[in-house]
């Protein structure tokens, strides 16, 4: 069964510790960050499933972080705030947040809302992703196409996983390098091109699922 990873972002240490301890006891793998910049670093370095994100933070606030996360991935984002203002909630949802929760809510309520979002997004209790005839097992790292197991390198598997998790979303070259290789675009863009070419060859008749978006990057789309 896939391990669910939650990133807790809040500039108040006691809040981070409280959620970290509670969600860990619920069986989640937790990570913490105290500001928006650290949150993005932790996100790109780990395969995060959901981000519990404070609104008011130094360096980068929650709205900025939410926008960047949603521009580069389909990760679930739950905004967490001490403010009780409909306009703030609307702004958070417009930034792409999946939910907006008050810090005054009980831990049980927050946990229940998190579980509902994970179920709605088909993240919880799922150790595989399947589109068309392509199936990737996230636990065993096995790729099957039309029921037949295929050889695939670890990095190709990670690249395909990221594509399939973000199906239908145009992904920039920068975001692919950050999320799959964990380094910046300027360091080596040829690495990405080489792996895309190998992955398309690996997919055979399904190679066109990986579409080139000129001037942007790539998109995984099943016709």
Q: Does domain 128-220 have CATH number 1.10.3720.10?
A: no
Instruction: Output the pLDDT for position 124.
Output: 64
Tens digits of residue pLDDT in 167-213 = 888 998 888 888 888 765 555 668 889 999 999 999 999 999 999 99
Q: Does domain 5-120 have CATH number 3.20.20.70?
A: no
Gyration radius of the chain's alpha carbons: 18
DSSP helix/strand/coil, 199: helix
What tokens does 99 get? 């939910």
Long-range contacts made by residues 128-134, C-beta under 8 angstroms, separation at least 24?
129/161, 129/164, 129/165, 131/164, 131/167, 131/209, 131/220, 131/222, 132/206, 132/209, 132/222, 133/206, 134/160, 134/164, 134/203, 134/206, 134/209
Tens digits of residue pLDDT in 91-109 = 667 778 888 888 888 898 8
The secondary element (H helix, E strand) that includes residue 99 is strand 99-102
pTM as predicted: 0.65
- Tell me the domain boundaries of the chain: 5-120, 128-220
The lowest-confidence range among 31-45, 114-128, 195-209 is 114-128
Higher-pLDDT residue of 195, 223: 195
């Amino acid at each position: 069964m896939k391990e669910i990873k939650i990133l807790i972002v809040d500039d108040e240490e006691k809040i981070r510790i409280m959620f970290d301890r509670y969600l860990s006891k619920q069986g989640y793998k937790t990570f913490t960050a105290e500001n928006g910049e650290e949150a993005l670093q932790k996100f790109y370095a780990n395969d995060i499933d959901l981000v519990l994100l404070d609104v008011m933070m130094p360096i980068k606030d929650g709205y900025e972080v939410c926008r960047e996360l949603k521009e580069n991935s389909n990760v679930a984002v739950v905004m967490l705030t001490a403010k009780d203002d409909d306009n703030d909630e609307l702004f958070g949802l417009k930034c792409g947040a999946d939910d907006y929760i008050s810090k005054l809510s009980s831990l049980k309520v927050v946990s229940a809302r998190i579980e509902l979002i994970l179920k709605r997004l088909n993240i919880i209790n799922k150790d595989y992703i399947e589109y068309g005839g392509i199936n990737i097992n996230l636990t065993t790292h096995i790729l099957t196409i039309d029921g037949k197991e295929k050889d695939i390198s670890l990095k190709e598997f990670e690249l395909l996983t990221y594509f399939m998790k973000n199906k239908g979303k145009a992904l920039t070259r920068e975001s692919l390098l950050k999320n799959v290789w964990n380094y910046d675009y300027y360091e080596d863009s040829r690495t990405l091109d080489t792996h895309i070419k190998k992955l398309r060859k690996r997919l055979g008749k399904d190679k066109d699922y990986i579409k080139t978006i000129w001037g942007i990057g790539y998109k995984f789309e099943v016709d």
